[in-house]
Amino acid sequence: MKRFLLLQAIMMMCAVLLYARRVDISVGGSMYCVEDDSNAYYMGEENSEQTTVTVLEDVAYNGNYYTVVGFRDPYVWYSKPSIENIVELHLPCTIKNDDFNIKFLREKGKKLAAVYVDEYKSELVSLGGAMYSADMKTLLFIPPMHTGTLTVPETVTKLDAECGVGAHITDISLPDGLLSIGDNALYGSLIRHLFIPDKTSIGSLGSLPELELLSFGNSVKSIPYTTLGKCDKLREVRIPSSVTSIATSVFDMSPSLVAVTVDDSNPNYKSVDGVLYDKDVSDIQYVPKGIVEYTAPPSLNSIKSLAFKNRTKLRAVDFSESAIYAIGDEAFYDCKNLAYINTGNKLTELGVRAFGIKAYDKSNASREVILSENLTVLPAYAFSNNIIRSLSMGNKIVSINEGAFYGCNMSDLQDIYIPYSVETIRDYAFCYLKANNNQFSRIYLGDKVKKIGDHAFDIKCDVKEFYCAAAVPPECNEAAFSSEMYAYPTLYVPEVNVYKSASPWGYFIKTKYYDFSGVEEV
């Protein structure tokens, strides 16, 4: 502890000695400071309304001249000079090309539109208001309020890290000889199109709020997840033949993306209608978040889990002409505006929550659902919280699993026909079913139903008629039905006395005979 306190004391003494040697000088409203025997530093303007400023090459103090070589922050307790309102800044040739000076301009000069440098024997060069290294090989600084298109000179081989953070340029033209773009070089800038030359390696591009088109060059081998940040307006990404690895989560913060296109000669990837696949188009790699419609290519035989999750702009999927036999867990989960679903008849496997919605919302799309004739199991929460205006389930479904239609609004459907092939209806399968007018005319169960799970028909809506064609009352607990189901609908069965004597079927207030003969399927 004593050593720590001693170290703190030494550091404070050093700071005091440093500032004791520092002298602030005011020259025509511009503030400078002297810190050593020969150098001075510009700190800003006393008059905050000053928008055009020329920094002196040297300043006089006590009969001596001090060369202005850079910038310094004022004392924290001082009546601060500032460069925050300067729009145009003219610098002498004596300003050094060092990280602190560039960082000072970037962080303090938020309204800078142009910086000009006296180029005589200078370490810095200005062109068009932007600042470069003396050899014109590195772009060092794009003023934040610089607007329009920036054409980078052919001599430039490097965009320095963070050189254009927040710049108001709307486009940038990069030279073919550019070799590297540093991390966050254009972060937060307003560029709309970015074409990366073929020789250029890149760091993290960061968030680009106005970017609409991004084209990678042929030097890019991989696209890690850190390449892009939030790009709300990005609509198209172009992948060259050189890219062999893509962390597809890199595009997750680009909600308007509608197309990832790939050069035909790329060895690992291929794009079809804007969707990214492996080279054989047998596996989906990435689905753009802005996609509106999707038709599976003939070579695709499965949709993997999570592939379309949260694609809220997706409105239609059609697999009727495809070879799709399996759709994975949550493959289309929370696609709130998906209004048309046709799985095609080759589908035999459907994943948990495949088309489910996280939470019911009446503003979600009303769906037409056409399921495969060869589907045998409707999995847990497959369509939970959906709004369904039309439903075709096929007649090979044996089991409707837990919560398959939990919380669904069946829209204008007055009659709910459960396929005649169904043997098991599991817990919560039709729990909290809703309808637009708060009532159903009938719910119909076929004669093969053997078991009904708890809360399977916990329905609060008004149900007029409830049909069960099974000769033997399906096995279930009292909790299978809501109190409203026991009280209001008329239960139609093939053997009234058998149902009356079976628990919990005897709890239905109104039970009547119905002739199910001749009914083979629904």
pLDDT tens digits for range 53-91: 999 999 999 999 999 999 998 875 555 789 999 999 999
Q: Are 169 and 110 in contact (CB under 8 A)?
A: no
Residues 120 and 210 in one domain: no
At 355, the amino acid letter reads F
Q: Are 339 and 361 in contact (CB under 8 A)?
A: no
* Mean pLDDT of the region 296-310: 95
Residues 155 and 111 in one domain: no
Percent of the chain with pLDDT over 70: 94
Find where tokens 């169960």 sit. Answer: 445
Residues 108 and 212 in one domain: no
Residues 204 and 128 in one domain: no
Among 440, 420, 495, 501, residue whose Cα is nearest residue 512: 495
Question: Does 466 reside within a domain?
Answer: no
Q: Are 145 and 112 in contact (CB under 8 A)?
A: yes
- Residues 388-432 pLDDT 10s: 999 999 899 999 999 999 999 998 888 999 999 999 999 999 999
Question: Does 396 reside within a domain?
Answer: no
Phi, psi of 111 (to 5 degrees): -105, 5
- The predicted pLDDT at position 78 comes to 52
Q: How confident is the model at residue 120 (pLDDT cuts 50, 70, 90)?
A: confident
Q: How confident is the model at residue 520 (pLDDT cuts 50, 70, 90)?
A: low
Angle in degrees, CA 51, 93, 175, rounded to 5 = 85
Residues 51 and 116 in one domain: yes
Residues 264 and 200 in one domain: yes
Task: Lowest mean pLDDT of 35-49, 147-161, 391-405, name the range.
Answer: 35-49
Question: Does 86 reside within a domain?
Answer: yes
Find where tokens 């020789």 sit. Answer: 199
| pLDDT of 22 strictly over 90 | no
Question: Does 280 reside within a domain?
Answer: yes
Residues 67 and 203 in one domain: no
- Mean pLDDT rounded to a whole number for the chain: 94
- The predicted pLDDT at position 79 comes to 57
Question: Does 302 reside within a domain?
Answer: no
Give the structural domain span for 83. 21-134
Number of domains making up the chain? 2
At 19, the amino acid letter reads Y
Alpha helices (H) along 275-365:
none
Q: How confident is the model at residue 19 (pLDDT cuts 50, 70, 90)?
A: very low
Return d(Cα 190, Cα 169) in angstroms, integer: 6
- Gap between the terminal Cα atoms of the chain: 83
Q: How many CB atoms lie within 10 A of CB 143?
A: 27
Report the CATH number that the domain containing residue 103 is assigned in CATH: 3.80.10
- The predicted pLDDT at position 119 comes to 83
- The predicted pLDDT at position 77 comes to 52
- The predicted pLDDT at position 519 comes to 62
- The predicted pLDDT at position 18 comes to 44
Return d(Cα 234, Cα 176) in angstroms, integer: 23
Among 103, 117, 111, residue whose Cα is nearest residue 71: 103
| pLDDT of 31 strictly over 70 | yes
| pLDDT of 383 strictly over 60 | yes
Q: Are 142 and 167 in contact (CB under 8 A)?
A: yes
Question: Does 186 reside within a domain?
Answer: yes
Starting at the earlier edge strand, list the strands of the sheet with 326-327. Answer: 302-303, 326-327, 349-350
Question: Does 402 reside within a domain?
Answer: no
Return d(Cα 209, Cα 329) in angstroms, integer: 33
- The predicted pLDDT at position 270 comes to 98
- Residues 339-358 pLDDT 10s: 999 999 999 999 999 999 99
* Mean pLDDT of the region 494-503: 97
The bridge status of strand 259-262 relative to strand 236-239 is parallel
Q: How far is CA 3 from CA 6, 12, 17, 443, in A?
A: 5, 14, 21, 81
Residues 156 and 128 in one domain: no
Percent of the chain with pLDDT over 90: 88
- The predicted pLDDT at position 436 comes to 81
